[in-house]
Amino acid sequence: MRVLVTGAGGFVGPHLRRALQAAGAEVLGLGLHLHEGGIDIVADVTDATATAAAVAKVKPDAVVHLAGLSSVAECSKDPMRAFQINASGALSVVQAVLAAKSPCRVLLVSSGEVYGAAAGTGPMNEQVLPDPMNVYGATKRAGEIIALQHRHQGLDVMIARPFNHIGPGQTPTFVLPSFAQQLAAVHRGGKVTLEVGNLSAVRDFSHVQDIVDSYVLMLSKGKAGEIYNLGSGVGRTIESMLQLLVAQSGREVTVKVDPKRLRPVEIPTLIGDVQKLKALGWAPSRTVESALGEILEEMESRAR
Ligand code: GDD
């Protein structure tokens, strides 16, 4: 099976490439710059012509559409750009696949953030009607709608809604690499004043490896036209994640809330019900503790 991965130079791309190759697939990475690594074809998904040319050239059996603006804060800073990348980008990809007129599955990577205000205090399944609370969630929901509409034109498309996933390669724009980077700036045994945002938010964290394994499983077992939550099904406060990280770090920490890190609108709790994914035969194989250890190691090696 030949798989085209968009956004291959981002955080998840290299993990997905390894997982697909381990499953015997040939992987071609699409991205913005060849020097990013893992990029075989340069094309911007907001450029419909370039995207169509890339898909026509590769003739993939499947496309995993990872490319997107993945930070909630960055999307709020520039909503128009966020829509161009996350929503118009999805449109370019599905149109490119249809235009290629050859059998090809599309796995559109959305986000658990689409549930927004519909998120209660416990795990939500895919029947819950999304109600995005921020620009990021809205752009991801728009991408889903665009992609699913194309199933009526014969597109074999599925939607993945991953919840928070962490591991090496994620940038300090996100919460745990940010905390790990601050810890790594002082030696083990030292004291750190750690700047944080809202520690009371509850999120569903997984090791990135478990999430990419779910994408691989969806490509072979997922049902066309369906939406799948991907996550652990377990809610953890950011504070409890910080404690796990600090315990592994061997540093003494004083926490200081930085108002710039607080979000104007925050979903208090976001947890996925992942029974539908489990019914495909999925089970997690990594712990969040191991992901935290890998993030810390990466940040420490950079700080040396
Ligand atoms: N970034 C950041 N920095 N977040 C902080 C901080 C901080 O210093 N302190 C607390 N937080 C809180 C945020 O307010 C949020 O509730 C939580 O930590 C996680 O924030 P992020 O790591 O920035 O991720 P996210 O939840 O906004 O989005 C991630 O998960 C989505 C799926 O649920 C991203 O990976 C998205 O791309 C993904 O779709």
| DSSP line for 71-111 | -HHHHHH-HHHHHIIIIIHHHHHHHHHHHHTS--EEEEE--
Which residue has a Cα nearest atom 10 of ligand 1? 197
Distance CA 238, CA 61 (A): 39
Site to substitute for ligand 1 among 12, 76, 111, 203, most atoms within 8 A of C-beta: 203
Give percent above pLDDT 90 in the chain: 97
Does some domain include residue 125? Answer: yes
pLDDT(2) > 90: yes
Atom of ligand 1 nearest to the CA of 113: 33
- Residues 291 and 241 grouped into a single domain: yes
Beta strands 156-162 and 2-6 are unpaired
- Residues 192 and 294 grouped into a single domain: yes
CB of residue 113 inside a 6 A radius of ligand 1: yes
- Residues 181 and 100 grouped into a single domain: no
CA of 174 to the centre of ligand 1 (A): 5
Q: What is the pLDDT of residue 302?
A: 93
Residue 29 forms beta bridges with which residues? 5
- Residues 186 and 131 grouped into a single domain: no
**How many Cβ atoms are within 10 Å of 71's Cβ, its own excluded?**
14
Distance CA 125, CA 273 (A): 5
Domain carrying residue 109: 2-166+205-230
- Residues 122 and 46 grouped into a single domain: yes
pLDDT(38) > 90: no
Backbone angles phi, psi at 165, to 5 degrees: -135, 145
Q: What is the pLDDT of residue 37?
A: 78
- Residues 18 and 149 grouped into a single domain: yes
How confident is residue 271, by pLDDT bands cut at 50, 70 and 90? Answer: very high
Q: What is the pLDDT of residue 34?
A: 83
How confident is residue 304, by pLDDT bands cut at 50, 70 and 90? Answer: confident
The set of long-range contacts for 260-265, using a CB threshold of 8 Å and a minimum separation of 24, is 261/195, 261/196, 261/197, 261/198, 262/197, 262/198, 263/72, 263/73, 263/134, 263/197, 263/198, 264/76, 265/133, 265/134
- Residues 195 and 210 grouped into a single domain: no
CB of residue 263 inside a 6 A radius of ligand 1: yes
Does some domain include residue 274? Answer: no
Average pLDDT rounded to a whole number, residues 94-107: 97
Atom of ligand 1 nearest to the CA of 72: 27
CB of residue 66 inside a 6 A radius of ligand 1: no
CB contact set of 83 (below 8 Å; sequence gap of 6+): 135, 139, 142
Distance CA 251, CA 184 (A): 9
- Residues 162 and 182 grouped into a single domain: no
Q: What is the pLDDT of residue 54?
A: 97
- Residues 298 and 191 grouped into a single domain: yes
Q: What is the pLDDT of residue 128?
A: 98
CATH number at residue 292: 3.90.25.10
CB of residue 196 inside a 6 A radius of ligand 1: yes
Average pLDDT rounded to a whole number, residues 253-272: 96
Does some domain include residue 273? Answer: no
Q: pLDDT: is 192 or 36 the higher one?
A: 192
CB of residue 110 inside a 6 A radius of ligand 1: no
- Residues 242 and 221 grouped into a single domain: no
Does some domain include residue 277? Answer: no
Atom of ligand 1 nearest to the CA of 198: 10
Distance CA 208, CA 13 (A): 10
- Residues 67 and 122 grouped into a single domain: yes
pLDDT(14) > 80: yes
Which residue has a Cα nearest atom 20 of ligand 1? 175
- Residues 181 and 89 grouped into a single domain: no
Residue with tokens 């099904």: 233
Given a contact cutoff of 8 angstroms between Cβ atoms, the answer to whether 222 and 114 are in contact is no
Q: Is 272 helix (H, G, I), strand (E, B) or coil?
A: strand
Give the chain's mean pLDDT.
Answer: 97
* 268 DSSP 8-state letter: S
**How many Cβ atoms are within 10 Å of 303's Cβ, its own excluded?**
13
Domain count across the chain: 2
Given a contact cutoff of 8 angstroms between Cβ atoms, the answer to whether 194 and 256 are in contact is yes
Q: Tens digits of per-residue pLDDT, 43-91?
A: 999 999 999 999 999 999 999 999 999 999 999 999 999 999 999 999 9
Does some domain include residue 280? Answer: no
CATH number at residue 127: 3.40.50.720
Does some domain include residue 281? Answer: no
CA of 248 to the centre of ligand 1 (A): 21
